[in-house]
Amino acid sequence: MSLNMDKLMYKLKEQIIERLHLKDLKPENIGDDQPLFVEGIGLDSIDALELIVLLQQEYNIKLSNAEDGPRVFHSVRTIADYITANSGALKVTT
């Protein structure tokens, strides 16, 4: 696994915690492959909307097909994969 991917996933975890006010969680508590919705972290439909806005604001990536949502937002890794696949020259700053 590339260092860039690790950094991106860590950054995503920080952004998810901040954006969704998950004050009881730290990035270390969210597994890379842990499901984000329902049985995993327990996110819901409003959180899904927040994640869509997060992708647009922070990564300038628009989820073109709403049906891709469940697959893209399954876990931190799937979001990171989507970002990597849909951004030209991604730079992760920490």
Partner 1 sequence: MKVYIRSAGNISPQHSLDTDSFFLSRTTTSNNYFKSVEPDYDSFIDSKMIRRMSRIVKMGVTAAITCLKEAHVEIPAAIVTATAYGCLEDSSSFLRRMIEFDEKLLSPTAFIQSTHNTVGAQIALMLKCHNYNNTIVHRGLSFENALTESILLLKEGTRPVLVGAMDEITDDSQAILSRFGLYRKTDNRMGNIAGEGAAFFLLEKDQGKKSLAILKGLHILYKPESNKAIQHSLLEFLKEKETTLDQIGLILTSHTGNKKMDEQDKELMNSVFRNKVTFPFKSLCGDYPTASGFALWMGSVILKEQMAPFWMEHGPQFPLSNILIHHHSGNSHHSFILISES
Contact residues toward partner 1 (CB under 8 A) are: 19-24, 42, 46, 49-50, 53, 56-57
* In the complex, minimum distance from the CB of residue 2 to partner 1, in angstroms, rounded to a whole number: 29
CA distance 42 to 57: 23
Nearer to partner 1, 29 or 57 (CB): 57
* In the complex, minimum distance from the CB of residue 63 to partner 1, in angstroms, rounded to a whole number: 12
* In the complex, minimum distance from the CB of residue 57 to partner 1, in angstroms, rounded to a whole number: 5
Which of these, 74, 5, 10, 62, lies nearest to 36 by C-alpha position?
A: 74
Nearer to partner 1, 5 or 22 (CB): 22
